[in-house]
Structure 1
Amino acid sequence: MHVVILAEFASASGGAEKVALESARGLAEAGVSVTYLQAVAGAADPLLDHANIRRVVLGLPDIWSLGGAKAAAAGIWHAAAARSLAAALAALPERPDCIHLHQWTRALSPAIFPVLSGAGVPVIVTLHDYALACPNGVYYRFDRAEPCGLKPLSAACIAAPCDARSRAHKLVRVARTVALRQAMRGLPLHVVHVSDASRRRMGDLLGADALTHHRIDNPVRVAEGPPAEPHRGDAIAYVGRLTREKGADLVAEAARAAGLPALFIGAGPLEAELCARDGVEIIGWQSPAAVWEILRRRARALAAPSRWYETGPLTIYEALAAGIPVVASDRSGAAEKVRHGQTGFVVAPAVGALTAAFTALRDDACAGGLGARAYAEARAAPMTLATHAAALRTLYGQLARDTGAVQHRPLPALLERP
């Protein structure tokens, strides 16, 4: 079996990239031939160092580095990206059985979808966010600090000043979504959801007859070893970008109210605000190994109180697998893996609810018991890389059999804007 994994980056700066890299490695270890198509030039993660992985770099710019009108035009329709992708696919020494897309908004644009349609093989897209339906990509009102409830591309949606950057940026993204819908028209796309909650939401938002929905958990890679001892931890921990939509400010306020320090691993726009609060420690970005060494030693629990509908943040799964209780937002797709009162707490992203959960975790027996159950349950139903790769192989095999002898259609004729 030969699989093309298409992503914009080859280093794990975010969850989507991390899953793309982990998937490539897991498939390669399972004996699958993988071509990793990397849109933007840059260093590659060591995960791609495997005999079964061929890396091809398209050498495209990050669209938003172009600036001004060039960035806007390329974001809506990047014809050069389509040409580069078509050439790379045509140059492959063997035809792939399927193409799996993980990212497209930073360098590729909707222009690649006609190319994918013309490849004559099944096309799969993992939905790490809501960009396939929502103009700003996260189905969240940054102007109101709350989840969106509008129909994408409705008059109310277009008028809403919801973008995190500016009104002009929102209009570019609206135009991109219009172009995307035209490019996807008639494309028999297979979409992979990483949580049940995101499947329900995206199923309602997309509503396209040509889409086929699948459900596969993200992989969780945790270093082997004994479980953490959260009852010995001294702080509520938060890992990720320090932003309001991810609830970093809520962690600081609720931890202080509960009488516990708040430990932040990451950086972001709220850093100065958080540093000014009592009981807050910020240690910046760390290597994955360092993150888990710190969490095993310091974390009484991991807090992930996102205000937006996160699809499946990996840190929640990783903490549970390490034996660390999780306090998760009830808006997060990954919260479905947290058993309330058994392996952590699932609460509203509000100071009062978080304070109650953090206060309960001050009790050593509570923190230790939740952590022990989290570790045991994660080991009983592991979300390992091997499990993830096996699910992908099953999906790819079924789609390849269903496709049968579909002939490869010529790509050049498909490069014009729809």
Structure 2
Amino acid sequence: MHVGILTNFATPKGGAEKVALESARGLAERGVAVTLIHGADGPADPMLDHPGIRRVGLGLTDVWERPAWRGAIEGIWNREAARRLDAALAALPVRPDVLHLHQWTRSLSPAIFPVLARSGLPVAITLHDYFLACPNGVYYRFDTAEPCTLRPVSPGCLAASCDPQSRAHKAVRVARYVAQWAAITRGFDRRPIDLVHVSDGSRTRIETMMRGAPVRHHRIDNPVRVERAAPADPAANDAIAFVGRFTREKGADLVAQGAHRAGLPSLFIGDGPLADELRAVPGAEVVGWRAPAEVEALLRARARAVAAPSRWLETGPLTVYEALAAGIPAVASDRAGAAEKIRDGETGFVTAPDLASLSGAFGRLTDDALVRRLGAAAHARAWSAPMTLAAHADALCDLYAGMTGTAEAPSFQRSAVM
């Protein structure tokens, strides 16, 4: 089998790219031929260094690096992206059996959907967010700091000032959404797109929002790239850790404030607009972005627990899965897909994303015996049904077999239970 994987970048600038690159590597290690096509220029992650992976760059630019007017136009419809993708697919020495798209909003744009449809190949899309169903991509109202309850592009949606940037920015996103769905409904009327969901909650929400669309739904866990090892000793550590982009919708501020209220230090790995605000909280330490191996080492050495208190309906933050697999308790928002992997009170805690609830959970983590018990249970449960790269690749191959007609899998589901 030959699989074409499409994404914005050849480096893991976010969760979507990280999963795309890890999927490519996992499939290649399973013996599947992979062509990774990335829109924007830039260095390639070392995990793509495998003889089974061909890398094709389209030489495009991230729209966030363009002047605002040009980024807006290319974000809605990048004709050059479509032309270059069309040429790249035609130039491949071996035609792919399946195309699998992971992200398109930063460099590729909705202009690629007619190209994918014209290829005549089965197309899968992994939904790491809500851009396929919601103009602002996170189904969250930044004006009210609450998850959205409106039907996408309904009158209420169009009137809402929900975008994190401005009303003008929302207008661009709505235009992109309209262009995207016009391309999908015209191009995929005969062969549906296979949508891959990374959590049960996001699948349920998107199925509701996309009733009647030319799509089929599947459920596959993201991979956890953690080598099996002895569990960490979180009771010997001191900090509540947060890994990722420091924003309010991800709840980074709640971690700093909640840990301080509970009498614990906090450790922030990553960067984002709240970095200076976090540094001002007593006991908070910001160390910036680190390579995956460094992140794991830091968590094993410092983390008493990992927290992901998302205010938005996050599909499935990888940091929680990686912490559990390392034997570190996790605390997640009841709005996040990651909460599905936590046994409340057994491997961590599931809480509402508010300061009182979170600081209460962190206060319980001052008990060494409890932390040690939670960590041991997290490690044992994670490795009883591991979400490894190999398991992820197996699930993808089952999906592709159903898409290409070599196996029957119209409602495929593969989900490890933690």
1:228 aligns with 2:232: yes
SS of corresponding position for 1:24: helix
1:53 aligns with 2:53: yes
- Distance in 1 (alpha carbons) for counterparts of 2:14 and 2:382: 23
1:32 aligns with 2:37: no
The equivalent of 1:416 in structure 2 is: none
The equivalent of 1:380 in structure 2 is: 384
1:198 aligns with 2:192: no
The equivalent of 1:411 in structure 2 is: none
AA aligned opposite 1:120: G
1:214-293 pair list within 5 angstroms? 214-293=218-297
Deviation at 1:403, TM superposition (A): 10
Q: Quote the sequence identity (%).
A: 63
Partner deviation per Cα, 1:237-281 (whole Å, 9 max, x = no partner): 111111111101111111111111111111111111111111111
Contact preservation (8 Å) 1:121, 1:403: no
AA aligned opposite 1:174: V
Deviation at 1:223, TM superposition (A): 3.0
Counterparts in 2 of 1:105 and 1:114: CA distance versus 1, 3 Å: same
1:10-89 pair list within 5 angstroms? 10-89=10-89
Selected match of 1:298 from 285, 296, 302: 302
- Distance in 1 (alpha carbons) for counterparts of 2:69 and 2:280: 38
Contact preservation (8 Å) 1:82, 1:111: yes
AA aligned opposite 1:378: A
Structure 1 alignment gaps of length 5 or more = 405-418
- Distance in 2 (alpha carbons) for counterparts of 1:257 and 1:392: 44
The equivalent of 2:334 in structure 1 is: 330
Deviation at 1:63, TM superposition (A): 2.0
SS of corresponding position for 1:6: strand
AA aligned opposite 1:42: G
- Distance in 2 (alpha carbons) for counterparts of 1:321 and 1:65: 36
**Which stretch shows the higher mean deviation, 326-335 or 72-81?**
72-81
AA aligned opposite 2:310: S
- Distance in 1 (alpha carbons) for counterparts of 2:140 and 2:79: 29
Partner deviation per Cα, 1:166-193 (whole Å, 9 max, x = no partner): 1111100000001111011051111000
Contact preservation (8 Å) 1:125, 1:190: yes
Counterparts in 2 of 1:136 and 1:353: CA distance versus 1, 3 Å: same
1:116 aligns with 2:101: no
The equivalent of 1:365 in structure 2 is: 369
> TM-score scaled to structure 2, two decimals?
0.95
Pick 1 or 2: higher relative contact order, CA cutoff 8 A, min separation 6.
1
Deviation at 1:102, TM superposition (A): 0.4
AA aligned opposite 2:118: G
SS of corresponding position for 2:405: helix
Contact preservation (8 Å) 2:269, 2:290: yes
Counterparts in 2 of 1:310 and 1:368: CA distance versus 1, 3 Å: same
Deviation at 1:18, TM superposition (A): 0.4
The equivalent of 2:416 in structure 1 is: none
Deviation at 1:59, TM superposition (A): 0.6
Structure 2 alignment gaps of length 5 or more = 409-418
Contact preservation (8 Å) 2:142, 2:162: yes
Selected match of 2:353 from 338, 349, 353: 349
Paired positions, count? 404
The equivalent of 1:414 in structure 2 is: none
AA aligned opposite 1:87: A
**Which stretch shows the higher mean deviation, 96-105 or 216-225?**
216-225
SS of corresponding position for 1:266: strand
Partner deviation per Cα, 1:209-250 (whole Å, 9 max, x = no partner): 410000000000113321100111111111111111110111
Deviation at 1:402, TM superposition (A): 6.2
